[in-house]
Structures are given as C-alpha cells and as structure tokens.
Structure 1
Amino acid sequence: MDRPHFRAAFFHPRFWLLWLGLGVLWLVVQLPYKVQLGVGRLLGALMYRVAGERRRIAARNLELCFPEKTATERKRLLKENFASTGIAFFEMAMSWWWSKPRLAKLAHVEGLEHLQQAQREGQGVILMAFHFTTLEIGAALLGQQHTIDGMYREHKNPLFDFIQRRGRERHNLDSLAVERDDVRGMLKLLRAGRAIWYAPDQDYGAKQSIFVPLFGIQAATVTATSKFAKLGKARVVPFTQQRLADGSGYKLVIHPPLTDFPGASDEADCLRINQWVERAIGECPEQYLWAHRRFKTRPPGEPKLYPKRRP
C-alpha cells in the first residue's frame, strides 16, 4: 500500500469533532506514563459501567474459559480487563505521538535474535501475535527494533485512517501495511524474506476455519497460518507481550520458531496455535481482548454460547 498523505479535505467541518477529540488525546498523552496508567484505569471503570454489551460478552468469555474460578474471581478479572482496555486507549496514542526515544524506554525485548537470524538467512517470518489490549503499543515497540510489516484493514473514517497509519508506520520507515485480503501480496513479502505481524486468534467464521479446542471449547480456528507458512515458505514465530505491573513498561518476547510446522494436518496445526493462545493468555489474562465473541461460530447442531443482543 502507498504511504498515507494528508489531504485538504481533512479540514472539512465533518472532521472537526474528531480533530477536537484527537487534540484532547494528544494533550493527555503528554502526561507522565504512570499518570496515564491511572487515567486509563479510570476510563476503564467508566467503560465497565456504560458498555453493557461488551461487558456481557467479556463476562461470558471468562465464564467459558475459566469455569474453575469463582464468580467473585471472574468479576475481579473482568474489572481488571476493562481497566486494561481503558489503558490501551492511551497506549495507542503514546505509540502514535510519543517521541521515539521516550517510547523506546518502555521496551523490554527478549528473543530478537530469532527475527535477526531469519533476516540474515533471507527467510520470511509469520510473527504469530494475539489480540491483547497492548497490541498497538507492542507492535510499535517491536517495530522500533526490527522491521515488521502488518496486516491492515482500512478504517471507514479517512482522517482517522490517516492518523492511525501514519502513527503506526513512523517507527520504521521500511515497514509496510498489507491489506488483510491481499493474500498474494502477503505471500510475495514472505518469499522476499519479510516479517509480517499476523494474529490467528479470532473467530472469522466457519468458511475459512475448522473446529478445534480452545480452553476445552470447540472454537472456529483459521487454517490460514499453515497455508501462509507453506505457500510463503516462511517460519512461524510466536510473539507475546505483557504490560508490566511495576509500571516500567512492556515485556515483549519473540519465541523460537515453531518446529515441524506446518504439520501432518490442519487440525494438528490449529490445535498447536490454540495451545499457544492459552499459554499467552495464562501469562496475563486481564490484558486479553475478551470483548470479542470468540465462540460465536458453533459446530453444526451445537447451541449458541452468547445471549441475543439487547435492543
């Protein structure tokens, strides 16, 4: 995709409210990091009260995935998850607007040698990531240290799309944005030895998925990871991230490449991926994006797991 360019049309009155909101957000993220963590937690507490639909989805996911926890434990985890979601709002802005040296101080990176080795060998890499609330800032921090391309879906608001893409791509001018549906373009980059951020942990429907267990529940899991690895002749390298409790920043871990992947079957590969999802969530369950209806697609004959949306 071409680099985003500012357009005079962004001065149109229909964008004024968004400009105002972005301006306020820019001012807030000039505050010290730990202050922003506190403000984010307050925003999360507000969201917990007003975002009823998202709260019910997240609560249901926690009930499904952690049946061994008590109702009190799950409610505490749910509130912490909303606090993490509130913080993520400011992390997004930090990754867009903080100076690169200021942002870099928050990074605690392990395993960078796995990406460096693949690069030296001209080997493409599928950087297998997961949908945590720290997704935006994690990608920015890693992008400062190694070129990674990203799967991208254009935002409906052209001004927000411009701000988002410019903020994401500024950390490494060699990085590229790949349209999510541009499979041919993705494979071309992998064969050229590029590293591409890719997250296979959401429910994209039955058409491109198979059912394998996730936390003991049959979950529609995309088979694309195996296909991309095979057709792109690429390694699959798991990538996990975590906001540190002491306020010192973020732990980013690039794990060793998966061995014997793709394996004997799509089922075996998808099961390995879901086991990685479980492992990553186990490190910091409060930071995962639980508001996504991960189990909305059900095997034939099985009942739906989420209540109908309220009018």
Structure 2
Amino acid sequence: MSVPSSDSNNTPTLNQKQHFLLSVLYFFSRRSLAFLQGLGLMLGTIAAWFPQGPAWVIRRNLKLCFPEQSERWINQVTRQNLIHTAQTGLEFTKTWGMPADYSIAQMKEFENIELFLEAIKSPKGCLVIVPHYGNWEFMNPWVSQQSQPVIMYKPSKNPIMDKFVWEARSRLQASLVPTDEKGVKSILKTLKSGGVSILLPDHVPHDNGGIFAPFFGISVWSGILSSRLIQKTQCAVVMLSCTRLAHSAGFKIVADKVDPEVYSTDLQLSVNALNRSVEQLIRRDPSQYQWTYKRFKKCETLKNVYQ
C-alpha cells in the first residue's frame, strides 16, 4: 500500500520501520467502520480480563467520581469503557486516513444542533467546547465544514502518528495553530473577529495554566484557557459531543448549552461552571468518557491517586 506524501517541513523523514507502521495505520483506515468497531469490541473485551493497566485506571477514576455505585456497576462500566476506548482508537485511523467527506457522511443524527449553528453566527465569535467524550475526532470534518475553525495542534511525540494526524488535519477546512502563546493569540484574534475556535477543556494543564476547581466533587487542577478567552471576548460558547450509533450506523452529534456561570468575570466561578458542564455531559453516559486518562493526578487534597 502506498503512503501519501507530506510536506517535509511539517513532519520528519521516517525510517523503514516507521514507514511500515504508518502503512499499517493506512491499512486500518481502509477497513470498514463495522470491521473496526467489531475489532474494538473484541479488543476491549479482552482488555477487561486484565485488571492492571488501562482497566485499573478506569476503575480508579470511576470509584472517585461515582462512590455511590456498586462494584458490579463499576465492573460493567469499566468493560464498556474499554470497548469504547478501543473502538474510538480504531475509528481515529478511519477518520484520519479517509477524505473529510467520508467522515461528514457518517454524521447521521443531530440533537439540539441549532444551538451550535446559532452560536457560530455570533459577531463576538464562538468557542466550541469538545470534551474527551465519545469520538471527538470523527466530527472534526463536519464541524470544520460548518465553521472553518481555528484548532490548536500539538505535535505527537511519535513521528508516525504526527505524520498521520498532520496529513488528516491539513485536509480540513480549519487553521492549525500551536499549543503555545502564539497559538493562544491566534485564537483570541479569531474570536475577536467573529470566528470560531475549538478547545478540549478537560486535560490536566501545566503549572501556570490552571487553578483548582471541583470536578465530580474533587478539587482538581483545571484549565483556565477557555475561561480567559470567554472573559476577554464575551464570545458565544457551545459544547459538542459525538457518539457512535448502534450497528455501525454512523454517529450522532449533540450540542449542549454550557452552565451560564461560565461567562462570569470571576475566573474561579467560570472554571467551576465549565467543569460542571463537562461533568453533566459525562453523567449522561459515563462509559463514553476517556477514563483511561489520569485526570486526577493533580488534586488539592487527594495525593498519589494513581499509585
């Protein structure tokens, strides 16, 4: 299988082994969605047999966030989450490896989408909040078609994935900016000119990029970038999520309003509200969230959560 070429200024030259692995990624990107989701079901089920690794992290996160739930519920959601995680990872290869039109065509159902379509018309710009829930990457082409957003891009430490993802992102009707001060200035300029930007709000930020704020009742280190941008621009804010439909029938995009306190001039109140908005989405279906991520590795009171 041939591998598309890319701009050498953007991605490094790959050695023979890396080129082979990149070809494997392209191979999976050419498999049917049903095949990939079926494979993800099998891999996730197998992963659930092993209590360590990702399964342990998922269980730890679920017990922190849902202490009222039974052990049976924790085990069930852990298994479901491992399956969703495997399916999402394989689906990533599909949306990154195929033309944007393919992913756009897979968006079969929409709920409250008028919230998004109205928000992107705001003369003060629109900030689209996209948590790590469902398959956030698969809807990127559709969102880009509607709004030509500015998206932050952090090069992967893995040159194979970086090449693969860079080529995919470069095909979108979107502008890529770095995850640094220059990128933040680009997003601020975009919003002030009435444009659209997308941010994922639920990572653990660096030491200078966060404050402690409640998330599932736990004071956790939370990003302030989204709240700062909202305060400086008074832009419209909307949250989007994308989940797969049963029987490989495509995907559903849901638009949600955020907690109105996200517009507060008090940074703490704004970040609290953003965390509440993400939490509310997760509670809709906890199995869809990226629980393999160590979200609670920096807490105000809890220490060494993952040891």
Count the aligned residue pairs.
Answer: 300
Does the residue aligned with 1:136 lie in a helix, a strand or coil?
coil
- Contact 2:211–2:223, Cα closer than 8 Å, also in 1: yes
> How big is each residue's C-alpha offset from its partner over 1:156-187, in whole Å with a ceiling of 9 and x where there is no partner?
34453232122123132xx1112111221221
Identity %: 24
Is 1:272 aligned to residue 273 of structure 2?
Answer: yes
The within-5 A match list for 1:114-153 is: 114-153=115-154
- How far off its partner does 1:306 sit? 1.7
- Contact 2:261–2:269, Cα closer than 8 Å, also in 1: no
Q: For the residues of structure 1 that align with 2:266 and 2:207, how far apart are their CA atoms?
A: 18
Counterpart AA for 1:278: E
1:60 maps to which residue? 60
Does the residue aligned with 1:145 lie in a helix, a strand or coil?
helix
2:161 maps to which residue? 160
Q: For the residues of structure 1 that align with 2:69 and 2:25, how far apart are their CA atoms?
A: 37
Does the residue aligned with 1:211 lie in a helix, a strand or coil?
strand
Does the residue aligned with 1:52 lie in a helix, a strand or coil?
coil
The within-5 A match list for 1:1-311 is: 5-7=6-8, 15-48=15-48, 52-107=52-107, 108-172=109-173, 175-181=174-180, 182-205=183-206, 207-256=208-257, 259=260, 261-299=262-300, 302-308=301-307
- How far off its partner does 1:92 sit? 0.8
Does the residue aligned with 2:283 lie in a helix, a strand or coil?
helix
- Contact 1:242–1:284, Cα closer than 8 Å, also in 2: no
- How far off its partner does 1:119 sit? 4.4
Q: Which runs of 5+ in 1 are unaligned?
A: none
Q: Structure 1's 100 and 228: CA in aligned 2 closer, same or farther, altered over 3 A?
A: closer
Does the residue aligned with 2:263 lie in a helix, a strand or coil?
coil
- How far off its partner does 1:125 sit? 1.1
Q: For the residues of structure 2 that align with 1:307 and 1:9, how far apart are their CA atoms?
A: 36
Q: For the residues of structure 1 that align with 2:187 and 2:101, how far apart are their CA atoms?
A: 30
> How big is each residue's C-alpha offset from its partner over 1:39-71, in whole Å with a ceiling of 9 and x where there is no partner?
112233344456933322221001111112211
Does the residue aligned with 2:157 lie in a helix, a strand or coil?
coil
Q: Structure 1's 120 and 142: CA in aligned 2 closer, same or farther, altered over 3 A?
A: closer
Q: Structure 1's 139 and 51: CA in aligned 2 closer, same or farther, altered over 3 A?
A: farther
Normalising by structure 1, report the TM-score: 0.85
Q: Structure 1's 39 and 297: CA in aligned 2 closer, same or farther, altered over 3 A?
A: same
Counterpart AA for 1:65: C
> How big is each residue's C-alpha offset from its partner over 1:173-217, in whole Å with a ceiling of 9 and x where there is no partner?
xx1112111221221111122211112212225543222221121
Q: Structure 1's 206 and 159: CA in aligned 2 closer, same or farther, altered over 3 A?
A: closer
- How far off its partner does 1:120 sit? 4.0
Larger mean CA deviation between 233-242 and 103-112 belongs to 103-112
Q: For the residues of structure 2 that align with 1:75 and 1:284, how far apart are their CA atoms?
A: 15
Counterpart AA for 1:39: L
Normalising by structure 2, report the TM-score: 0.86
- Contact 2:120–2:236, Cα closer than 8 Å, also in 1: no
Q: For the residues of structure 2 that align with 1:236 and 1:11, how far apart are their CA atoms?
A: 36
Larger mean CA deviation between 51-60 and 274-283 belongs to 51-60
Q: Which runs of 5+ in 2 are unaligned?
A: none
- How far off its partner does 1:256 sit? 4.3
Q: Structure 1's 145 and 91: CA in aligned 2 closer, same or farther, altered over 3 A?
A: farther
Counterpart AA for 1:63: K
Does the residue aligned with 2:242 lie in a helix, a strand or coil?
strand
Counterpart AA for 2:176: A
Does the residue aligned with 1:61 lie in a helix, a strand or coil?
helix
- Contact 2:244–2:251, Cα closer than 8 Å, also in 1: yes
> How big is each residue's C-alpha offset from its partner over 1:81-106, in whole Å with a ceiling of 9 and x where there is no partner?
11111111221111122344433332
Q: For the residues of structure 1 that align with 2:160 and 2:304, how far apart are their CA atoms?
A: 37
Q: For the residues of structure 1 that align with 2:195 and 2:55, how far apart are their CA atoms?
A: 38
- How far off its partner does 1:228 sit? 0.8
Counterpart AA for 2:210: S
Does the residue aligned with 2:177 lie in a helix, a strand or coil?
strand
Q: Structure 1's 120 and 59: CA in aligned 2 closer, same or farther, altered over 3 A?
A: closer
